[in-house]
Chain A
Amino acid sequence: KAGVTQTPRYLIKTRGQQVTLSCSPISGHRSVSWYQQTPGQGLQFLFEYFSETQRNKGNFPGRFSGRQFSNSRSEMNVSTLELGDSALYLCASSPKNPTDTQYFGPGTRLTVL
């Protein structure tokens, strides 16, 4: 099976712009979680989607949003970018249940100038 893929891998934006990141889960996986990871920091949970429904959301401002499509692919959007949004954005897919193993994609490295 192909692993989790994320596009683009690298992105440079300027403050005030918006960005959309994409995540394609492992075939058959219906749950997608998104995380933000800054240098030296852990994994900060953004949100989780299952069957096009957001089941949980982390403590991030409303500028961060996401969605999931019927084929389980997911996108996250960040509007009005700030310097502090520079980070590695990781998505992880799992079959269905909260206690299923999560498999990570390679991440999208976002730099905000």
Chain B
Amino acid sequence: KQEVTQIPAALSVPEGENLVLNCSFTDSAIYNLQWFRQDPGKGLTSLLLIQSSQREQTSGRLNASLDKSSGRSTLYIAASQPGDSATYLCAVPNYGGSQGNLIFGKGTKLSVKP
């Protein structure tokens, strides 16, 4: 059964710092991996989707990497801003479950201090 773990659970950094969020998964046979952002009381915003054949994806100040063999992905945020404060979730498709639903980690709650 696929399990997704995110470390750390919470992270507080001063504005301007570069930071890395970690995601690990137990079954390396994934089709893709997706990073989401969730603001308090809100739904999910998709940030980056990395296909299994890719090593990384970039969008603005965000860079996500994927190492399938080791079951790991990282989300790198450059020059963090207070507006980046949110919970970041990673997710992979579940092939053992219902038609490809996503399995989520518990998230990393990021706080960027001005």
Co-complex (A, B) = no
